[in-house]
Structure 1
């Protein structure tokens, strides 16, 4: 894991080769235009018949401060499906670069009929990958030195996991829920138990944990303690039973539930919303674990976390060791635009657009994304 981290840090600095086109499992129908907007396909045909061999410069940008991702994939897409890809001239930033609004992140020069129909696909690749990477980066910044676990497997179509996992890694999170999320960068998925495991042992958390350890004795045991909506009682039970073998407990209290601890101690009701996983509940849990002699048991929280919620927890010094985050990381909130801004070396673009060369761009060699890794 450490070596992978170093490799990708070097990659972000532009010091090693980009991911190759063999990293990505492209659908062969891209070549047929199956995923391209029809007006791009019609334009390609018109230009082939009426105005061929016109060299255009196409540049891509977006409108926010962001963490760029999807560039390697976009380049591989061009080199795999463009006509005469060896003749294209491409300049690009690197996955992981911090970018500004309207900054050109990718620029392509070539005959329009060779690559123009890929414009929308490139926009989409950059939009999703950059959105996820930026969302993850913002969560990581909010969490400070606390671990963040990417738990986005249930929040989108499974076919997106490899790209989302890579984007999450570029954003700063290496702990991810599925093996598929790690496919492009070589790690393995992490995780312990869902509520279903406890249910299958008739709600007996201790027996579920015993079975987990018997089956995976080398794993850190993290008990999921909100099954009975009584996280303090269940955490103390597993701590007393497993002692030093218990690595941590995870709270995933539903947003419409108030934990039994507060229902037993209603004098603690106040201005704070005590539904779901909240700061007061985490604080009381930490106090009870410490008082019982288990200060080393870590507390992992999940359920509705995003950058804002993590910032609230951190601003109140919530005794959290790790945050599990899912759906908020997958929101596509950054859109990219591809514009043709030069024609045969002369500026030609719609009103409001202009050629904007970015000195941070680096030329991309055709062989860079074709060689075996």
Structure 2
């Protein structure tokens, strides 16, 4: 990890500020502190880095950037990581200690924390979702919800870290790919995954015609077809299956349910949704704990009942090998509900592992030692306690 993230040409991405641009992008009081320290004499300091909520440790990109800047500035930074990547970190626990020149480190805090905090929360969410549905594969479809390319890179990386933890802890499939080429490498892919947006179906004029256009253009790519554009999820799913019977029989055809929360999928309402779940997973209805969970079970949009209903229709028509891809609002809470409803989902496409409450993503750095002597502001003495390096229980 001796270079910061790069694009396909190998040049450093413009979204990751290099040493000569840090002054413009960091908090001014850090810049002024650096000027003061350079005037009155440098000191060796140790920073403790922590967060105020539990996270999954995802530091790689932040540390790559830090080490690159330190090398460009000509000083060494000692990094003592207290956790391994993808381990669980409790609220307030120091994640790492950074030791080095105060003049070299002080104005890096702003940008370093930007690259650390949100990753830990997103990784935590990705882990939770994957572990709740260990038999389901996930696709990271977060890029269009991110605030720029740097965030998109951080979030893709975080999804891969949380997913790795879910594989280790729950035997989950986790995130197997994502939507963009630039970050596909985090998931062991060469290219982003995906087939068609709703706009292609509008352009084609029918769901079947959009599927035909895609297959003619990319005949070797498995076909996934959006089926909610015309509000005919069941009718259009079956029409596509009948148009491509060989793909359906070989398992190379999938239908994607992306119905928005303003309506039920074709053929369902509240009463019939209850009936569907009563046939397949009655305990889910009897065990829901909130109105939000009930909505995920029998409400509008892509509910557990909707997925079971689509599976019934496909199976009854002889298309048992056609897969169901579900999207639309699949965050940790919805995945948990789908898990205990045993919803027959093959793949979930989601960007909802992104942090929902941004104030939870704030990482904090405090200097805890000057020239090796412990010293920290009142109230942060807990940062001086060092944790054991080997923590396999996490």
TM range (shorter): 0.7 to 0.9
Report deviation, 1:127: 0.6
User: Higher mean Cα deviation, 267-276 or 104-113?
Assistant: 267-276
2:63 is the alignment partner of 1:75: yes
What do residues 296-345 of structure 1 show as CA deviations (whole Å, max 9, x unaligned)? 11111111111111111121121211111114424443321101011121
Q: What SS class does the counterpart of residue 326 from structure 2 fall into? A: strand
2:349 is the alignment partner of 1:347: no
Q: What SS class does the counterpart of residue 178 from structure 1 fall into? A: coil
The number of residue pairs the alignment matches comes to: 340
Are the aligned partners of 2:5 and 2:61 in contact in 1 as well (CA < 8 Å)?
no
Q: What SS class does the counterpart of residue 39 from structure 2 fall into? A: helix
**Aligned match for 1:110, one of 85, 96, 100:** 100
Report deviation, 1:142: 1.5
**Aligned match for 2:77, one of 83, 88, 112:** 88
**Aligned match for 1:268, one of 272, 286, 289:** 272
2:361 aligned partner: 334
How high is the TM-score relative to the length of structure 1? 0.84
Distance in 1 (CA, whole Å) between partners of 2:327 and 2:2 is 32
Are the aligned partners of 2:75 and 2:104 in contact in 1 as well (CA < 8 Å)?
no
Distance in 1 (CA, whole Å) between partners of 2:220 and 2:355 is 31
Are the aligned partners of 1:213 and 1:219 in contact in 2 as well (CA < 8 Å)?
yes
Distance in 2 (CA, whole Å) between partners of 1:301 and 1:65 is 28
1:325 aligned partner: 350
Gaps of 5+ in 1: 1-17, 362-373
1:179 aligned partner: 181
2:201 aligned partner: 198
Root-mean-square deviation over aligned CA pairs: 2.4
2:266 is the alignment partner of 1:254: no
Are the aligned partners of 1:19 and 1:72 in contact in 2 as well (CA < 8 Å)?
no
2:20 is the alignment partner of 1:20: no
2:42 aligned partner: 53
Q: Structure 1 residues 54 and 86 mapped into 2: Cα distance closer, same or farther (>3 Å)?
A: closer
Distance in 1 (CA, whole Å) between partners of 2:62 and 2:147 is 21
Q: Structure 1 residues 22 and 208 mapped into 2: Cα distance closer, same or farther (>3 Å)?
A: closer
2:329 aligned partner: 304
Report deviation, 1:284: 1.5
Distance in 1 (CA, whole Å) between partners of 2:330 and 2:5 is 35
1:141-220 alignment, distance < 5 Å: 141-159=131-149, 160-172=151-163, 173-182=175-184, 187=189, 188-202=191-205, 204-220=206-222
2:225 aligned partner: 223
Are the aligned partners of 1:162 and 1:183 in contact in 2 as well (CA < 8 Å)?
no
Distance in 1 (CA, whole Å) between partners of 2:230 and 2:95 is 50
Gaps of 5+ in 2: 7-11, 164-174, 275-293
